[in-house]
Structure 1
């Protein structure tokens, strides 16, 4: 009888261990993600707004891009995905204006990854206006039309708005993804729930899992 009890006890422990492995704990606010003290308004109806705060010069943003693109595609109609290029200093301003100009001209989807490639593979710093103009012309974009948009009031307004959003959304590092105007997720935050010394790919995968959780959470709360 004692042996039978020991066997049953061992099986029970194995069952508990298996359940813990099969059903990992949900991400926790203040650990794997942050909840903004002041939620920001969204304009996406029943769909969940997802905003990536990024910079073209940022190697971690570049490393995340392919995985993030696949994640957005997987989410489909669940979300409305947006990007905001963060400010830093005068050397980054041309890159920021490049982003908002491509967006204003309806060319962002076509050239977004090409900008990353130019900076991180071809080592084109794109930190001066003329460098940006030369690069876009080499891509076959109308140089003068681009320059006119680049210097337009509309692009200037978007740059200024990005500065304000940094404060409103409490952005301190990037890439950071804000979900439903309330939740911050990132590879950096995801590391808080991981042991050892995870690789960047592991941090990215963990962040995307947290984002899955937050989109589902926000969607459930909208019903």
Structure 2
């Protein structure tokens, strides 16, 4: 698994002739339609949005505040799920951390703290013991966390993450999948946008997501 490198992509994409239109997203330019739609976990009028991310990914960290603001503005229109790509395989420590926090209902409390620990405080959370020690120092009972970490439900989901991610065709982070059908990401959007301005790219990516959510909602 790789993360999107804006500077490198900007140099590479200067030769691209694709035309980006984030306000009116174009299939094959601003997003791709999956060859096989995946089941969604929403019912009624809500549109499912899945964020694929990695805690150590600098672009994932950079887009997170803007993404959180976008989610708040969407309100009840969407239901958001997060999937941490297992970049080191079926025992990926960061993915294991996220799934354990999710099982404990601690994502809202801890998600931003993990990003800060990795990218601001420069704490390496890439080993099981380091993660457990860090969590214990940040307000979660060690025994409770370890029990969830080792639970059948968490370990089973961890082993399945590779297949889950492959089923959505995700090969870089961050990425968004709307309604189990439409995949977009900063790297996809920048093929046509051709910008080295990070915030401009993030805004354009979320504008594409806006369009995809509206497209799905209109058809419900």
Instruction: Output the TM-score relative to the length of structure 2.
Output: 0.86
Alignment: residue pair count = 199
Q: CA-atom RMSD, angstroms?
A: 1.7
Quote the offset at 1:112 in angstroms.
Answer: 0.1
The equivalences for 1:203-218 within 5 A come to: 203-218=201-216
Distance 1:121 1:105 in 2: 25
Cα distance, 1:98 vs. partner?
Answer: 0.7
SS at match of 2:172: coil
* Match in the other structure for 2:60: 61
Map of 2:6 onto structure 1: none
User: Counting helix residues as a fraction of each chain, which structure ranks higher?
Assistant: 1
Query: Contact 1:91 / 1:127 at 8 angstroms: preserved in 2?
Result: no
Cα displacement string for residues 129-181 of structure 1 (whole angstroms, at most 9, x for unaligned residues) = 11011101111110011011101111111112321111110011110100000
CA offset digits 1:4-31 (Å, max 9, x no partner): xxxxxxxxxxxxxxxxxxx986111000
Alignment partners' CA distance in 1, 2:31 and 2:89: 31
Asked which structure has the greater RCO (Cα within 8 Å, sep 6+), the reply is: 2
SS in 2 for 1:207: helix
Tell me whether 85-94 or 75-84 shows the greater mean CA deviation.
Answer: 85-94
Whether the 8 Å contact between 2:23 and 2:208 is mirrored in structure 1 is: no
Compared with structure 1, are the counterparts of its residues 72 and 25 closer, same or farther at alpha carbon in structure 2 (3 Å cutoff)?
closer
Query: Are 1:32 and 1:210, in contact at CA under 8 Å, matched by a contact in 2?
Result: yes
The equivalent residue for 2:94 is 95
Does the CA contact (< 8 Å) of 1:185 and 1:207 recur in 2? yes
User: How do 1:55-204 residues align onto structure 2 when only pairs under 5 Å count?
Assistant: 55-89=54-88, 93-195=92-194, 197-204=195-202
Structure 1 position 51, deviation (Å): 0.3
Unmatched 5+ stretches in structure 1: 1-22
State which drifts further: 91-100 or 35-44.
91-100
Max Rg structure: 1
